[in-house]
Structure 1
Amino acid sequence: MFNHDELHQVAHTAPIISHLQRLAPTAKIEVITSSELQTAAVKQHLAPDLPQPVFWSIKSDRLSKISEKALGNLLPLTRISGLMANTELFSCFDALVVPETTTTFLKTKCGMDKPKLIFFPHGAGDRSIGFSKDIRHFDYVLLPGEKTRKRMLDAGVIRSGNHRIVGYPKFEARSEQPQRRFFSNDKPVILYNPHFDPKLSSWFKYGEQILDHFASQSEFNLIFAPHVMLFRRKLLASIEHRMLKVRHNLSQRYLNADNIHIDTGSPRSVDMSYTRAADIYLGDVSSQIYEFIKNPRPAIFLNSHNAQWQTDPNYACWKFGPVLDDMSKFQETLHQSLPLKLHFRKIQAEAFHQSFSLDANKSSGERAAEAIADFVDIERLPRQNIECRTDAPAIGSMPQAVAI
């Protein structure tokens, strides 16, 4: 199930679908989305030689959307309303596999024991929100690597026997795609990837200075591809840090610069196109840094909120490169970052190994499918279809049926 405003969570679990179909051909594997864009995005990850699974559409009511906006987006009311309106549909399933924690609302507020909830986090970053208490309500948790497992165990949100390390399915989603070029020259490419969190994001304090810097020079190319949520809303809210900030619009000057490529939320901003194309990463707390260091390269971090980060696990990635507390040494640091220093290369390589458990002989999608099959005990499911009536419309003309 995919129940979020945007597409950035899709690639984390969609690659599992076809593997689960192959592994369990007698089981019903179905997909729930909350927008047509999500449906299209999921279909891009499906194996063309397999039957397309049934797609169900859940949508929130208009009042929830208006209320969420009026409250400054502090609460995910649209996601919650989509859950509450479709409990009958969800009760038909043995399990829901999800990449976000709002789904635990089905247990904590709706009192549902069925379906079982299986969680795979959308990213392998360091922010404390990734280890929230909501995770303890999941029946089973799939993990990308040892780092996430240890922090979740330390936080008490998973326990022995209710989780398994399976790797990172998102990596296989782009493994066979050619690397795209975004500039017609061979100048170094910088990816500026600020987060949307109003406290942690460097955008609100340094964003325009950074764009000004690159717009007024010709040595570097810049890809400005922030977290997709930064430019989806004018008012940015953080539940974690109880903070609101207003985001200003981009100047036309930046949009017209030949050496600046701007993407505030297309599918390329979430499919690793930019982390693969860049020579240097510039950012703050986005988990995309971990996808970037799959191939170790220079990284620069902006401390815009005076974080005491050196021993804080929520900023572990800031050890991958220099950290700037202001912009006074930005140009000097940028020039000195290439080539990647040996000690940063070693730190990045070790962090990647701890963050992602990758198997050369078996894909992460396959491992995740096996973990789901083992947990749900698919082999003992009845082979016949069980009709399930619901008011939620299935996309297309596929019949209603129970699913894993």
Structure 2
Amino acid sequence: MIEQELMAQLVRPASSGHRGVRCGFLFNHDQLHQLAHSAPIAFELMRRQDGPEVRLFVTSQAQHEALLRVAEKYAMPTGKIYRLRLPLLLRLLQPLLDPLMPFSRVMMLLCNRAAFRDLDLLVVPEKTSLLLRSRFGLKHLKFVHTRHGAGDREVGFDKASGEFDLVLMSGEKIRDRLIEAGLLKDGGHAVIGYPKFDLHADGSVAGNTVDVVRPKLFDNDRPTVLYNPHCSPSLSSWYRDGLEVLEAFYRSDRYNLIVAPHVMLFAKRVQVSLDRWSFDAPGEIPARYRDCPHMLIDTGSARSCDMSYTEAADLYLGDASSQVYEFLHRPRPCVFLNTQGVAWRDDDNFRHWNAGPVLDTVEHLEAAIDAAFASHSHYIDTQRALFDYSFDLRETPSSVRGAEAIRAFCARQFPVAAASEQTAGSVLLSG
């Protein structure tokens, strides 16, 4: 739980008659893949003198270290970053229960709800945090959703997506689907672009560009394929065909392979799909693939989250992961594996499958990869249209647009507090 002296610091009263708006950014996940979708907005908001007081909350040492690196690149102070913890007994249960369920994420909210009690709004890239309001008593708290990724999966447009007071969206595609589902509130949404694109793969601030230095990961000149299977058993190609994909490239003398699945695929012993009920175990990756010099296996490092692999690859091989849209910022060949036998045509949940050939089997996979390179010119216009519909990128960086959207929301929702900020500046906490 949050330390007693830190709690006293967080809840102390403001010195002026009207305290300013207090805005928290919460990073509550096992992995790092959500951090880049909201951290850039937090630091841009901290730059403003007429915005809310910002506090950042992390729930793991890895998140803390990653956030410190981003703060350093933005030349921002780190005294507003707070580490939340679980009681000792629950920490002992983590290794047993986290691989089976989101145990730590839920308990982190319950045990640290006092840290959020005096906030006016909380900015999150996920939906579990809504429990603070629906189940854990913080009825006053407003929620801002930055979302994470710009994919097509229907879970991104479910009922919970409509429970936020402000939704920040990457582009017209997200807006159109949320409107169609009746999930957007008047004055409670804004298209801002994609804050993750404001960071280079090496963590440096990139403004509004998506110009990432391409990493060289192999000591050869072979074309490189990125295999990026999803974690959901109802959607992923991994459970049925993953090892067969690896074997095909293990035997190849023409291609490199990066295996960088969704970071949650190997985070649990058993994966469960709740949208289409199913479960399966990801199993183990044999050592011969890990030791192969023209194969790189990464089941969840920071490089899986920072666009290193989407930039290093010449072709994307996948199924339902939203990372394909990050890959498409620079049109290149894509191949999709329809392991589940989905009737995908004209289904918005598989819109990205229009970006390249769709295979019903992984037999003759190398020949299919060859054909995808040869036919890529037929897909370039479609890829560009898919990217532009998913990401509204402008001269103003996405993180700046996100910060302005939150500031404007605060001015509408908390006019007295927002007015005091404009005259007195933001209330700052000491670190």
Q: RMSD across aligned C-alpha pairs, in angstroms?
A: 2.2
TM-score (norm 1): 0.90
Q: After TM superposition, give the deviation of residue 235 of structure 1 in Å.
A: 1.2
Partner of 1:380: 419
Letter in 1 for 2:320: V
Partner of 2:354: 319
Partner of 2:403: 369
Partner of 1:391: none
Of residues 36, 40, 43 in structure 1, which corresponds to 2:61? 36
- The residue matched to 2:379 in structure 1 has which SS? helix
- The residue matched to 2:198 in structure 1 has which SS? helix
Partner of 1:112: 138
Show the 5 A alignment for 1:333-344: 333-339=368-374, 341-344=376-379
Q: After TM superposition, give the deviation of residue 249 of structure 1 in Å.
A: 0.8
1:90-142 C-alpha deviation (Å, 9 max, x unpaired): 12212111100011111211242333110011000011111111122111110
Partner of 2:106: 80
Of residues 227, 233, 239 in structure 1, which corresponds to 2:262? 227
Letter in 2 for 1:312: D
Is 1:332 matched up with 2:367?
yes
Q: 2:38, 2:195 within 8 Å by CA — same for their partners in 1?
A: yes
Matches of 1:48 and 1:4, distance apart in 2:
23
Letter in 2 for 1:187: R
Length, aligned pairs only = 388
Choose 168-177 or 317-326, whichever is displaced more: 168-177
Unaligned 5+ runs, structure 2: 1-25, 201-205, 412-416
Matches of 1:86 and 1:195, distance apart in 2:
31
Letter in 1 for 2:369: L
1:190-242 C-alpha deviation (Å, 9 max, x unpaired): 00000111121101111111111111121000001111111112211222222
Of residues 25, 31, 35 in structure 2, which corresponds to 1:10? 35
Matches of 1:42 and 1:340, distance apart in 2:
41
Provide the identity percentage.
37
Matches of 1:26 and 1:101, distance apart in 2:
24
1:272-311 C-alpha deviation (Å, 9 max, x unpaired): 0000110000000000000000001100000111111112
Q: After TM superposition, give the deviation of residue 381 of structure 1 in Å.
A: 4.2
Inter-CA distance 85–358: structure 2 relative to 1 (3 Å threshold): same
Is 1:158 matched up with 2:184?
yes
Is 1:242 matched up with 2:281?
no
Q: 2:230, 2:265 within 8 Å by CA — same for their partners in 1?
A: yes
Is 1:272 matched up with 2:307?
yes
Matches of 1:118 and 1:275, distance apart in 2:
28
Q: After TM superposition, give the deviation of residue 179 of structure 1 in Å.
A: 2.2
TM-score (norm 2): 0.85
Q: After TM superposition, give the deviation of residue 14 of structure 1 in Å.
A: 0.8
Choose 325-334 or 271-280, whichever is displaced more: 325-334
Partner of 1:293: 328
Matches of 1:337 and 1:191, distance apart in 2:
14
Unaligned 5+ runs, structure 1: 388-397
Matches of 1:227 and 1:159, distance apart in 2:
31
Partner of 2:244: 209
Is 1:133 matched up with 2:159?
yes
Q: After TM superposition, give the deviation of residue 328 of structure 1 in Å.
A: 2.5
Inter-CA distance 28–386: structure 2 relative to 1 (3 Å threshold): closer
